[in-house]
């Protein structure tokens, strides 16, 4: 209150000394400057008049450096970091996840005190990969980004894999990192280790945009710009480096009055060209065996409903690659069970937001000789409707092998879908019954899938380790009357979710990791569970592989600390089983014995006590459960504990691949 701001303080003693030093330096360099600029050469000036104030002695200078004068302002009421918080508050960000780091100490204090720890609320994570993974899962359920704060250099390095997953998965998030500021301000040692000229360089290959603003005004503009860019289709992470000096410097009222926070404007999404949509409609309606393949398509229930409408119009089967919840698993046109055959027989394929169009149309064998062949008909017409080409970088190869469509419509598929439906309706006209027979075939095939799923599910019904089908059946029995939602992919779970459960709502399945970076499952589940908690009334479920869980077991602490309830079932096959199979493949290929493939891939001897681990973090832990007859009761207890507000882990010893 009574303290002077820097503007008011005038020339204190430190400022005076600096001025003297600069003046002295200028005097010494004067002749050299004159020589370097002959046009301004002047006769040597007369010696400068001696300053009236005496220069300090060496002892005085030392004392000055070690003991700031009593007049120096040691506290302040407003800093640059407060303004940074003001900027973030305009963006309606609900949560910010972070593992502590001194490079953003001013920002953290501003968020929790100046910002009153609301919008965003600061969430404590125990690893930066958890912070970023939370933001990943949260955005997929909430439909908007949250923020994560990463310590300068080392924190960004920790976070890198999680950011890569989000980038590959095209998920928006607002990331901040920090640096200690100008060299003369850094304390020796650690502050230098955590300072960086280019804080985003570590992750620039897999963020959508980044900036290192050098003024508060620039911070405001870059953060608002970044938010808009992160959300524009195709979305992705953006990274802002908050300079330490900017954070910690005092912000005077005069300076603050000059600052402006720009308005956030979200751009409309790209929609397909009408002429191209008309052409696509003609091709689809004319086809005898059209197939719709869909991957990273639906971002809301509207996208699901629109795709149902298109598929029913054409009575065309849908083959879902499951990067999102795109289509109801109970719908008779959901034909994943014979997806390969359908693509192979198709004369027209509509690919909606394909992550890997080449992989949908071709197959590469994993033998010594990597042969590949096209599995779709050579003359099949392929239409792609995708934002794939709008976000692509050179270094990391997530863009997959090049595959040209016959008609490539570069646009956001969900935003375009209503217009494609209109075009198809116009093309069909009054011939709506022309696809009735095709629809009946699909219904018949779908009935057979269910029978097959039940027959397959019966295999190893009473086995120990427990089969995937048994686990999902026991789970269904306990949650069938709840508003459940899966938060983890099913590619390691035998695909039982989609084979046996009615996944109908968009939030009931949020797809895969994007970059296949191990550790996604627990961290994304934590963020998704947070979003479900905010919506309310849901039972979030995560099926987490033991290898995946070991990358970030501390999610259970963050969940307990912040009261984020969810049910985590550890699909415990006591191995990095994907790698078990890879090493086995190499052992077979090299003919040097086939019994040692588990070395370096199994997680046994000792077995890990996951339930005990969960308890140590403050969560509810149950298991290990090896007997399928005990599983139902274990899940019942777990569900009850989740409904009481707890994070719960059930360790289920399971078959290697569900």
Is 73 or 587 the residue whose CB approaches other proteins more closely?
Answer: 587
Is 122 or 449 the residue whose CB approaches other proteins more closely?
Answer: 449
Minimum CB–partner distance for residue 467 and other proteins (Å) = 6
Is 366 or 430 the residue whose CB approaches other proteins more closely?
Answer: 366
Is 158 or 498 the residue whose CB approaches other proteins more closely?
Answer: 498
3-state secondary structure of 79: strand
Minimum CB–partner distance for residue 384 and other proteins (Å) = 25
Q: Which residues make Cβ contacts (< 8 Å) with residue 408, sequence separation at least 6?
A: 383, 384, 386, 389
Strands 318-320 and 566-572: unpaired
**CA atoms of 564 and 586, how far apart (whole Å):** 43
List residues binding other proteins (CB under 8 A): 329-330, 365-367, 449-451, 453-463, 465, 467-470, 472-474, 476-477, 480, 491, 494-496, 499-502, 577, 580-581, 584-585, 587-589, 591, 593-595, 597, 655-658
Is 416 or 490 the residue whose CB approaches other proteins more closely?
Answer: 490
Minimum CB–partner distance for residue 491 and other proteins (Å) = 7
Q: Which residues make Cβ contacts (< 8 Å) with residue 420, sequence separation at least 6?
A: 272, 277, 280, 281, 310, 385
Place of tokens 């989740």: 642
Is 38 or 378 the residue whose CB approaches other proteins more closely?
Answer: 378
For 480-519, where are the alpha helices, taking DSSP H only? Answer: 496-500
Is 3 or 480 the residue whose CB approaches other proteins more closely?
Answer: 480
Is 531 or 625 the residue whose CB approaches other proteins more closely?
Answer: 625
**For the residues of 231-292, what is the DSSP string, one character each?**
HSSSP-EEEEEEEHHHHHSB--HHHHHH--PPPP-PPPPP---HHHHHHHHHHHHH-SSEEE
Minimum CB–partner distance for residue 603 and other proteins (Å) = 14
Is 473 or 652 the residue whose CB approaches other proteins more closely?
Answer: 473
Place of tokens 């290959």: 205
- Cis peptide, bond prior to residue 465, ω within 30 of zero: yes
Minimum CB–partner distance for residue 349 and other proteins (Å) = 22
Is 101 or 597 the residue whose CB approaches other proteins more closely?
Answer: 597
What percent of the residues of the chain are helix, what percent strand, and what percent coil, each to the nearest 5?
45, 15, 40
Is 538 or 574 the residue whose CB approaches other proteins more closely?
Answer: 574
The residues facing 147 across adjacent strands are 96, 174
- Cis peptide, bond prior to residue 624, ω within 30 of zero: yes
Length of the chain equals 658
**For the residues of 393-415, what is the DSSP string, one character each?**
-SSS-TT-S----SEEEES-HHH
Q: Are residues 213 and 246 in contact, defined by beta-carbon separation less than 8 angstroms? A: yes
Minimum CB–partner distance for residue 502 and other proteins (Å) = 3
User: What is the distance of C-alpha 550 from the center of its chain?
Assistant: 19
Q: Are residues 463 and 628 in contact, defined by beta-carbon separation less than 8 angstroms? A: yes
Over the Cα atoms of the chain, what is R_g? Answer: 30
Is 328 or 514 the residue whose CB approaches other proteins more closely?
Answer: 328
Minimum CB–partner distance for residue 473 and other proteins (Å) = 5
Burial 551-590 (b: 16+ CB within 10 A, else e): bbbbbbbbbbbbebbbbbbbbbbbbbbbbbeebbeeeeee
Tokens encoding 127: 């690893």
Q: Which residues make Cβ contacts (< 8 Å) with residue 607, sequence separation at least 6?
A: 574, 624
Minimum CB–partner distance for residue 524 and other proteins (Å) = 21
Residue 400's φ and ψ, nearest 5 degrees, are 70, 175
DSSP state of 184: G
Minimum CB–partner distance for residue 438 and other proteins (Å) = 22
Minimum CB–partner distance for residue 474 and other proteins (Å) = 7
Is 540 or 597 the residue whose CB approaches other proteins more closely?
Answer: 597
Is 390 or 453 the residue whose CB approaches other proteins more closely?
Answer: 453
For 94-215, where are the alpha helices, taking DSSP H only? Answer: 105-109, 128-142, 154-168, 190-193
Is 97 or 475 the residue whose CB approaches other proteins more closely?
Answer: 475
Q: Are residues 99 and 73 in contact, defined by beta-carbon separation less than 8 angstroms? A: no
Tokens encoding 100: 């502590």
Is 374 or 454 the residue whose CB approaches other proteins more closely?
Answer: 454
Minimum CB–partner distance for residue 520 and other proteins (Å) = 18
Minimum CB–partner distance for residue 138 and other proteins (Å) = 27
Of 170, 144, 497, 580, the closest CA to residue 353 belongs to 170
The residues facing 124 across adjacent strands are 98
**CA atoms of 555 and 88, how far apart (whole Å):** 25
CB atoms within 10 A of CB 617: 19
């Amino acid at each position: 209150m009574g303290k002077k701001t820097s503007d008011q303080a005038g020339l204190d003693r430190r400022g005076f000394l600096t001025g003297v030093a600069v003046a002295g330096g200028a005097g010494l360099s004067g002749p050299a400057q004159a020589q370097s600029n002959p046009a301004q050469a002047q006769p040597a000036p007369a010696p400068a008049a001696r300053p009236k104030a005496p220069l300090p002695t060496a002892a005085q200078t030392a004392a000055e450096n070690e003991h700031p004068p009593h007049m120096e302002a040691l506290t302040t009421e407003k800093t640059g970091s407060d303004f940074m918080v003001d900027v973030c508050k305009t963006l309606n960000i609900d949560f910010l996840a972070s593992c502590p780091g001194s490079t953003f100490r001013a920002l953290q204090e501003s968020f929790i005190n100046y910002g009153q720890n609301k919008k965003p609320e600061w969430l404590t994570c125990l690893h930066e990969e958890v912070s970023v993974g939370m933001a990943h899962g949260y955005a997929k359920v909430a439909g908007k980004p949250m923020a994560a704060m990463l310590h300068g250099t080392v924190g960004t390095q920790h976070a890198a894999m999680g950011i890569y997953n989000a980038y590959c998965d095209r998920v928006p998030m607002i990331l901040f990192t920090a640096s200690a500021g100008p060299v003369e301000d850094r304390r020796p040692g650690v502050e230098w280790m955590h300072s960086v000229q280019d804080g985003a360089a570590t992750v620039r290959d897999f963020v959508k945009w980044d900036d290192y603003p050098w003024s508060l005004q620039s911070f405001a503009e870059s953060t608002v710009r970044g938010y808009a860019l992160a959300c524009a289709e195709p979305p992705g992470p953006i990274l802002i480096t908050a300079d330490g000096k900017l954070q910690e410097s005092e912000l005077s009222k005069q300076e603050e009055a000059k600052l402006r926070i720009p308005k956030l404007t979200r751009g409309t999404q790209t929609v397909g060209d009408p002429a191209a949509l008309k052409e696509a409609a003609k091709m689809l309606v004319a086809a005898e065996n059209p197939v719709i393949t869909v991957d990273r398509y639906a971002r809301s229930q509207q996208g699901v409903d629109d795709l149902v409408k298109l598929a029913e119009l054409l009575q065309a089967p849908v083959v879902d690659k499951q990067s999102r919840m795109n289509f109801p698993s109970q719908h008779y046109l959901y034909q994943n069970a014979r997806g390969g055959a359908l693509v192979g027989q198709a004369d027209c394929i509509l690919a909606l937001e394909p992550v890997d169009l080449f992989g949908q149309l071709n197959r590469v064998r994993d033998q010594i000789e990597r042969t590949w062949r096209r599995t779709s008909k050579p003359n099949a017409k392929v239409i792609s409707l995708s934002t794939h080409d709008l976000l692509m970088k050179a270094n990391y190869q997530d863009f997959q092998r090049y595959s040209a469509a016959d008609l490539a419509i570069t646009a956001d598929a969900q935003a375009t879908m209503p217009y494609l439906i209109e075009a198809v309706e116009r093309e069909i006209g009054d011939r709506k019954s022309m696809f009735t027979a095709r629809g009946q075939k699909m219904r018949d095939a779908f009935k057979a899938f269910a029978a097959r799923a039940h027959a397959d599910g019966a295999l190893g019904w009473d086995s120990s380790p427990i089969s995937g089908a048994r686990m999902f059946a026991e789970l269904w029995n306990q949650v069938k009357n709840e508003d459940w939602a899966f938060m983890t992919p099913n590619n390691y779970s035998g695909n039982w979710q989609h084979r046996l459960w009615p996944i109908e709502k968009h939030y009931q399945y949020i797809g895969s990791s994007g970059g296949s970076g191990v550790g996604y499952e627990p961290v994304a589940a934590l963020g998704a569970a947070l979003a479900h908690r905010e919506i309310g009334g849901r039972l979030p479920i995560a099926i987490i592989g033991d290898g995946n869980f070991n990358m970030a077991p501390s999610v259970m602490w963050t969940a307990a600390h912040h009261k984020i309830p969810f049910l985590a079932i550890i699909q415990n096959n006591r191995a990095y089983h994907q790698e078990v199979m890879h090493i086995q493949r190499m052992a077979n290929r090299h003919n040097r014995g086939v019994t040692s493939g588990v070395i370096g891939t199994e997680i046994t001897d000792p077995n890990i006590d996951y339930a005990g681990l969960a308890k140590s973090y403050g969560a509810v832990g149950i298991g290990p459960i090896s007997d399928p007859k005990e599983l139902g009761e274990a899940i019942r207890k777990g569900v009850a504990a989740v409904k009481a507000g707890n994070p719960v882990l059930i360790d289920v010893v399971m078959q290697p691949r569900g």
